[in-house]
Amino acid sequence: MKIDYTPQLDFNDVLIRPKRTVLNSRSQVDINRNFTFLYSKIKLNVVPIIASNMDTIGTFEIYNELSKFNMITCMHKFYNLQDYKKYICDNILDPNLFMISTGIKDTDFEKMCEIVDYTKCNWICIDIANGYIKNLIDFCLKVRHKYPNKIIVAGNVATREMVEELIINGKVDGCKIGIGPGSACLTRQKTGVGVPQLSAIIECADSAHGVGGFIIGDGGITCPGDMAKAFCGGSDFVMCGGIFSGHDENPGKIIEENGIKYKMFYGMSSELAMKKHYGSMEKYRASEGRILKIKYRGRIKDTILDYLGGLRSTCTYINSKKIKYMPKCTTFLLVNNQLNKIFAK
């Protein structure tokens, strides 16, 4: 047994120090970013924010809205080929603005190949809760062999050595970072395992960039300031679930209790999700996801504009003309308090 005494930080442990800036308006900030990937030959210019592949978030309806802002939607695993065919009959899927997500079983591979070949999607997200198992590396190599020019992402992990392993030996372009930070995740409570998300991003970004890859900070975002801190810590992309929940565009009915409207949101390792998609939850596993009621928020467009406005404002405070430059413009301050909440209800 070892103890690492290095301080480990989450988003609420820091603030970003302001500095003199030559940016006189938020309108001068470029929130799009150009990407060239390590293994894929594809080049992208996107707003590097991704909707999570949860079944209430990674949907065609969310894609319809996020794509208008040049943002990416990671589709949930439970759409099949017929679902994509039906959607494409009346709509256009930009191959650069959505991801096909997959597990690592043989049946997952076959299903993923069918969908990728039909949709011509440029992104493949290999997604399992525990990215430290050997089978993940083997599956990543299998996918890379099949699709040498696709952008391949794998996760989730939260430490330097596994990021390097996945990029160097798994031949993925990037890694999804986060063990337990999500609002609907109970992994840390049920297992005691995890790394505070800001420290995980800082460490994993350093290792990924050192070997030519990129990272996606996945989870833990509670407000626009947290998203800014994720980019300032070195995230190339930020993936979000909870902040995109509770809107008109999310599936499910509006529930009203005591005059307050809600929509349901739940983790994909929750008992509800297991029973919904697999019929039951295996006795050898515990539910590692919450079932939450999210206050109804109206149109997702308003949430998107709020977050993009916050990012632009952060950039003006630190003299960063582009999201890409944010880490180089950042000094984090360790703090004991974030907000004055004396009059908050």
Q: Please state the rounded mean pLDDT for residues 298-322.
A: 97
Q: What is the reported pTM?
A: 0.93
Residue for token digits 């990543």? 140
In a domain, 339, yes or no: no
Q: What count of Cα atoms within 13 Å lies in the side-chain half-sphere of residue 30?
A: 9
In a domain, 15, yes or no: no
- pLDDT at position 187 is 86
CATH code assigned at 44: 3.20.20.70
Q: Is the pLDDT of residue 174 over 60?
A: yes
In a domain, 240, yes or no: yes
75: β partners = 100
In a domain, 94, yes or no: yes
Residue for token digits 């907000």? 339
State the Cα angle at 139 between 136 and 140, rounded to 5°: 85
100: β partners = 75, 124
Q: Please state the rounded mean pLDDT for residues 24-49.
A: 96
> DSSP assignment of 12-74, as one string?
GGEEEPP---S---GGG-B--EEEE-SS---EEEE--EEE---TTTSSHHHHHHHGGGT-EEE
Q: Which residues span the domain enclosing 243? A: 29-249+304-334
Q: Could you tell me what percent of the chain has a pLDDT over 90?
A: 81
φ, ψ dihedrals at 96, nearest 5°: -90, -10
Pick the catalytic residue: 74, 121, 185, 329?
Answer: 185
**Catalytic (active site) residue 185:** yes
In a domain, 292, yes or no: no
In a domain, 275, yes or no: no
296: DSSP letter: P
- pLDDT at position 224 is 97
Rounded Cα gap, residues 145 and 129, in angstroms: 23
Q: How confident is the model at residue 269 (pLDDT cuts 50, 70, 90)?
A: low
In a domain, 57, yes or no: yes
- pLDDT at position 268 is 59
In a domain, 257, yes or no: no
Q: Please state the rounded mean pLDDT for residues 307-319.
A: 97
Rounded Cα gap, residues 258 and 155, in angstroms: 40
CA dihedral 232, 238, 242, 248 (to 10 degrees): 120
| Residues 42-94: tens digit of each pLDDT | 999 999 999 999 989 999 999 999 999 999 999 999 999 999 999 999 999 99
DSSP E strands, the chain: 14-16, 33-36, 43-46, 49-51, 72-75, 98-102, 123-127, 151-157, 174-177, 214-218, 237-240, 255-257, 260-266, 291-295, 332-334
Q: Is the pLDDT of residue 240 over 70?
A: yes
Rounded Cα gap, residues 205 and 159, in angstroms: 10
- Provide the terminal-to-terminal Cα distance of the chain, rounded to the nearest Å: 44
Within its chain, how far is the Cα of 9 from the centroid?
19
Name the domain count of the chain: 1
